[in-house]
Structure 1
Amino acid sequence: MSSLTKPVSGKRFDTVFRGIVYACGILILVVLAAVTVFLFVRAWPAIGGNHEDVADTIGKFTGGKITSFWGYVGPLLFGTVLVAAIALVVAFFVSMGIALFISHYAPKKLATVLNYIVDLLAAIPSVIYGLWGGLVLVPAIYPFWNWVAQYLGWIPIFAGPAANPARTVASVSVVLAIMILPIITSISRDIFQQTPRLLQEAALGLGATKWEMIKLAVIPFGKSGVISASMLGLGRALGETMAVLMILSPGLTYSVQLLKASQNQTIAANIAAQYPEANGLGVSVLIATGLVLFVLTFLVNLLARKITQKASVK
């Protein structure tokens, strides 16, 4: 009798588990739809409301320099992408080096210690990074930025003079790179460690050196995962608020001069800075800029998904 009831019980649990999984998947869609509707409803007064009132509100935010919504959000969007992109470029190569060192070069005991350190860094709140960046990094890094401006100033992005204190895009990008580095490193490390042993031994058996084995076997195997890890890091950099607010001297321009202050600002940091003094329409304007950031993040994740699929197919 028991042998007859077991399959029925197993099917029942399978049905229940499948229902739970479906409910969780649908819940994600519901939450995303709810966030989207909320942003559109709260942002509509700024997008489709009285243009004169919106212009007057934006003028108060910018000291009368900008009065149109797209003229206001454009530099913020540019600054957000610029800061996040530089942080990702800086963090990506360092993360790959750390991940490969832990997975293929470091002794076991050292690798264990480094794993704990990487995981610990990933758990540090952003406000701690902001405090460290504003109080320690900004004063300490000025001599280096000044040297860069003197000897590499002929490159437009490094044109001087370097700001002192160095509350610039370059400084905040370094802090953001340190923030997203543990995320990219942790995921990449786990993926590199999952490379099939036979695949690595086959490359070594054909006469490849260790670096050639990594280049031919390990990196191609983990390419899609590394891209996903990088996009997760980029997503955090795009939405970072406190560290940027505490370090960057804000500006509303399309400048790419990384060593000068008061050039750029990010959407998230601008919302945090302006929100305490914003009125009803001012809050709608800020939420509308948040909607733009939401769409940007969605497009970045969609692009990452497409790239990951192509990499996995190859």
Structure 2
Amino acid sequence: MTLLVIMAAIAAFLTYRAYLAISEDSVNFLTAFEWNPQGDPPAFGIGILAFGTVVSSVIAMVIAVPIAVGIALFVSHYAPRKLATPLSYVIDLLAAVPSIIYGLWGALFLVPYLDGLTRWLDQFFGWTVVFEMSNPGSPARSIFTVGILLAIMILPIITNVTREVFLQAPKMIEEAALALGATRWEVIRMSVLPFGRSGIISASMLGLGRALGETMAVATVLSPGFLFTWHLLDPGSGTFAQNIAAKFNEADEFGRDALIASGLVLFVITLLVNGAARLIIARRKEYSGANA
């Protein structure tokens, strides 16, 4: 009950401050591709921020989820105990690394390292809109790089939760399948993965929640800008959290209301993502119970 009251208070505060800003906005807040709350009249929209947030999170999920599931399977069902135990400790430690450390590592190591990859993608896949670079000599401070960094950040979270779910798979069923001549992969495919499907979804949603709201690491790596482009290798985009962190201190009262309005959208998106995950898990449990 206390958590619901706190959440309701946060939602009420965000909604009130957002209303003060949106009521004075001269453009469509949800679709406009500009950010100028100090203009006359004020004009600001979240189109670019929503695009950058969603695209970077999708890139992170596409990279992180398969790798995390593979690592979790290796640690829980393939690795010997002497190797699985230290690996689990390392994964736990990676999940506890502060965001700013990831950001500094990304800015000083990942960005220079990805320069070669982005040029290679532009050279061989530049005929696509996605991997075409407008300026091939520009540094790799793009949404694509942010997506890779976010994937590295959420990988330990998804791996930890998925590993624990896989370890709870019924041992009796696994042993029976092995006794009947099934290979280890057949046991995993027919028993462990179906059992852990809802856990994989919940772990992925936890990772997605961090990717959507990540601030310091994104602000450290991404070259800020307010230019919409389908070229994911070009700098100059932004995310909700990065835009708030970059502009909040220098904004006036109305500018902060505008930033809070964008924060309200991120708040709603996060609630919807977690609500959808809970619905999927609940329906999965209901289906499993009906077929038990």
TM-score for the superposition, normalised by structure 2: 0.90
Structure 1 residues 123 and 252, CA gap change in structure 2 (3 angstroms): same
What is the DSSP-based 3-state SS (H/G/I as helix, E as strand, rest coil) of the residue aligned with 1:158?
coil
Structure 2: gaps (5+ residues) = none
Is the 1:163–1:261 Cα contact (8 Å) retained in structure 2? no
- Aligned residue among 121, 124, 128 for 2:97: 124
Aligned partner of 1:231 in structure 2 is 205
CA distance in 1, matches of 2:160, 2:49: 30
Structure 1 residues 292 and 68, CA gap change in structure 2 (3 angstroms): same
Residue 50 of structure 1 deviates from its aligned partner by: 7.0
Aligned partner of 1:256 in structure 2 is 230
Residue 122 of structure 2 corresponds to residue 149 of structure 1: yes
For 1:237, give the aligned amino acid. Answer: A
Structure 1 residues 174 and 58, CA gap change in structure 2 (3 angstroms): closer
Residue 67 of structure 1 deviates from its aligned partner by: 5.3
Residue 103 of structure 1 deviates from its aligned partner by: 0.3
Aligned partner of 2:80 in structure 1 is 107
Residue 252 of structure 1 deviates from its aligned partner by: 2.7
Is the 1:58–1:282 Cα contact (8 Å) retained in structure 2? no
Structure 1 residues 74 and 146, CA gap change in structure 2 (3 angstroms): same
CA distance in 1, matches of 2:186, 2:167: 16
CA distance in 1, matches of 2:130, 2:83: 39
Residue 294 of structure 1 deviates from its aligned partner by: 0.5
Aligned partner of 2:16 in structure 1 is 41
CA distance in 2, matches of 1:257, 1:310: 38
- Aligned residue among 177, 181, 187 for 2:151: 177
What is the DSSP-based 3-state SS (H/G/I as helix, E as strand, rest coil) of the residue aligned with 2:97?
coil
* Aligned-residue RMSD, C-alpha: 2.2
Aligned partner of 1:59 in structure 2 is 36
CA distance in 2, matches of 1:255, 1:307: 33
Residue 168 of structure 2 corresponds to residue 199 of structure 1: no
Residue 57 of structure 2 corresponds to residue 84 of structure 1: yes
CA distance in 1, matches of 2:5, 2:219: 32
State the number of aligned residues. Answer: 282
Structure 1: gaps (5+ residues) = 1-25
Structure 1 residues 254 and 311, CA gap change in structure 2 (3 angstroms): farther
Measured against aligned partners, the alpha-carbon deviations of 1:112-154 in whole angstroms (never above 9, x if no partner) come to 0100000000000000000000011101121122112111222
What is the DSSP-based 3-state SS (H/G/I as helix, E as strand, rest coil) of the residue aligned with 1:252?
coil
CA distance in 2, matches of 1:260, 1:197: 49
For 1:181, give the aligned amino acid. Answer: L
CA distance in 2, matches of 1:169, 1:295: 22
TM-score for the superposition, normalised by structure 1: 0.84
Give 1 or 2 for the bigger CA radius of gyration.
1
- Aligned residue among 132, 142, 152 for 1:168: 142
The percent identity for this pair of structures is 51
